Amino acid sequence: MDQKNVLIEREGNLLIVTIARPDALNALNRRTMTELHALFVDNPVDESVQGVIITGAGTKAFIAGADIKEFVGMPAQDAAALSAYGQDIFNAIENYPVPVIAAINGFALGGGLELAMACHIRLASDNARFGQPEVNLGTIPGYGGTQRLIRLVGHGRAMHWLLTGDMIDAGTALQAGLVTGVYSQQDLLPEAQKLLAKIASKGPLAIKEIFNCARAYHDPEIDGFALESDRFGWLFETADFAEGVNAFLAKRPPSFTGK
Ligand code: COA
C-alpha cells in the first residue's frame, strides 16, 4: 500500500520511519495504523536492515495519541477490535528481529507513548512530554499501555500516571527509566543512528540471542534462565565468539562475520 502517513527512508542499513500527520500532531488515525500494520506485520523483514528508528514529523510531537476525532460514535465492538489491531502492531514492533529505537521528539501521549514503549530503546528530545491521558476522555489505554507502563517504570509510578493522566517531562522520564537518553531536538536522530551503529558493530549472533532471551522474560511458557544457559553454551562454539575472545586477547577490534 502507499505509505502516506508513515514515511520510510532507508539510510545505509537502517530504516527511518516517520509518522507524518503534523497538522494533527501525528495522531494515529486508521490510515496510519493500517500503514504501520503493513510495515511491521504484513511485510517480511528485509534481512539487510540492521535497525529501525521511529520518530514523528516536525518538532512538536512524536505522536499525540490515537486520533480522537475518529472515536466519535464508535461502537464498543469496533473500539475493542481497534484495540486488538493496535496491540497486534505494537506486539510486532516489540518482536521485531532487529533493534527498534523510538526517537521521541515531542509529545508522546496515549497511543504515542504506547508505540514508544513497544520499541526496544527509547531516546527523547528535551522538549518531549509523556503521558497516558485516556482517563481525561473517560477511557483507558488500548494499545498495551496498561501493561507496558507497569513493566517499564514499576507499579507505583505507572499507577500514578495511568490514574491521573498526568504528563511528565523528559527529565522525569529519564529518571523513571522510561527513556535512556535525552538530547536536543537536533541531536536526537544522530544519537539514535549512532546507537544503532554501535549495536550493529557487536557480534550479530549474540545480539540475536539477547533478543531471544529478553523475549523469554515475558513468556511464561519459556524458562528464561534455562534458555540463557543453552544460548550461552551455543555461542561458545561460534566463529564470532572465538573472534571476539581472540581480538580481546590480541588487543585489537573484533571482526565479526555472523557465523
Ligand atoms: N487526535 C486528533 N487530533 C489531535 C490529537 C489527537 N490525539 N492531538 C492533537 N490533535 C490536533 C488538534 O485537534 C489540533 O487540530 P486543529 O488545529 O485542527 O484543531 C492540532 O492537533 C494541534 O493540537 P492543539 O491541541 O491545538 O495543540 P496544543 O499545543 O494546544 O496541545 C496537546 C497539544 C498534545 C497537549 C493536545 O493536542 C492534546 O491534549 N491532544 C490530545 C492528547 C490525547 O488525549 N491523546 C490520547 C488520545 S486517546
Q: pLDDT tens across 69-117, in order?
A: 999 999 999 999 999 999 999 999 999 999 999 999 999 999 999 999 9
Q: In the predicted model, what is the mean pLDDT of the chain? A: 97
- Can you tell me the mean pLDDT for 156-181? 98
User: How many residues are recorded in the chain?
Assistant: 259
On the question of pLDDT at 132 being above 80, the answer is yes
Q: Is 67 in the pocket of ligand 1 (CB under 6 A)?
A: yes
- Cβ(22)–Cβ(57) below 8 Å: yes
Compute, in angstroms, the gap from residue 64 CA to the centroid of ligand 1. 6
For residue 11, the model assigns a pLDDT of: 95
What proportion of the chain, given as a percentage, has pLDDT over 90?
Answer: 97
On the question of pLDDT at 1 being above 80, the answer is no
User: Of 2-6, 104-108, 157-161, which range is least confident?
Assistant: 2-6
CB atoms within 10 A of CB 124: 28
Residue 131, classed as helix, strand or coil, is strand
Q: Rounded to whole angstroms, what are the CA distances from 78 to 52, 84, 143?
A: 31, 10, 14
Of 54, 75, 50, the residue nearest 197 (C-alpha): 50
Pairing state between β 107-109 and 61-63 = parallel
Q: Nearest C-alpha to atom 38 of ligand 1 is from which residue?
A: 64
Q: Is 109 in the pocket of ligand 1 (CB under 6 A)?
A: yes
CA torsion sign, 41 to 47 to 152 to 182? negative
Q: Is 27 in the pocket of ligand 1 (CB under 6 A)?
A: yes
Q: Which atom of ligand 1 is nearest to the CA of 167?
A: 35
Q: What residues pair up with 55 in beta bridges, in sequence order?
A: 18
**Cβ neighbours for 253, distance < 8 A, ≥ 6 positions apart:** 247
Helices (H) and strands (E) in the chain, counts: 11, 10
Q: Is 113 in the pocket of ligand 1 (CB under 6 A)?
A: no
Residue 28, classed as helix, strand or coil, is strand
Q: Is 135 in the pocket of ligand 1 (CB under 6 A)?
A: no
- Can you tell me the mean pLDDT for 104-132? 98
Catalytic residue among 35, 94, 114, 209: 114
For residue 44, the model assigns a pLDDT of: 84
Mind listing the pLDDT tens digit for each residue in 22-71? 999 999 999 999 999 999 999 988 889 999 999 999 999 999 999 999 99
Q: How confident is the model at residue 228 (pLDDT cuts 50, 70, 90)?
A: very high
Q: Nearest C-alpha to atom 1 of ligand 1 is from which residue?
A: 67
Which of 5, 19, 21, 25 has most ligand 1 atoms within 8 Å of its beta carbon, as the pocket-test mutant? Answer: 25
Catalytic residue among 94, 134, 191, 209: 134
Of 78, 68, 75, the residue nearest 110 (C-alpha): 68
254, amino acid identity: P
Compute, in angstroms, the gap from residue 136 CA to the centroid of ligand 1. 13
Q: Which atom of ligand 1 is nearest to the CA of 139?
A: 48
218, amino acid identity: H
128, amino acid identity: A
Q: Cα separation of 59 and 23, whole Å?
A: 12
Compute, in angstroms, the gap from residue 233 CA to the centroid of ligand 1. 51
For residue 150, the model assigns a pLDDT of: 98
Q: Nearest C-alpha to atom 44 of ligand 1 is from which residue?
A: 133
CB atoms within 10 A of CB 220: 8
Residue 134 annotated to the active site: yes
CB atoms within 10 A of CB 179: 24
On the question of pLDDT at 142 being above 80, the answer is yes
Per the listing, cell 491521573 goes with 164
Task: Report the predicted TM-score, pTM, of the whole model to 2 decimal places.
Answer: 0.97
Q: Cα separation of 129 and 172, whole Å?
A: 9
Rg (CA), the chain: 19
Compute, in angstroms, the gap from residue 70 CA to the centroid of ligand 1. 13
Of 55, 46, 42, 54, the residue nearest 13 (C-alpha): 46
- Cβ(129)–Cβ(165) below 8 Å: no
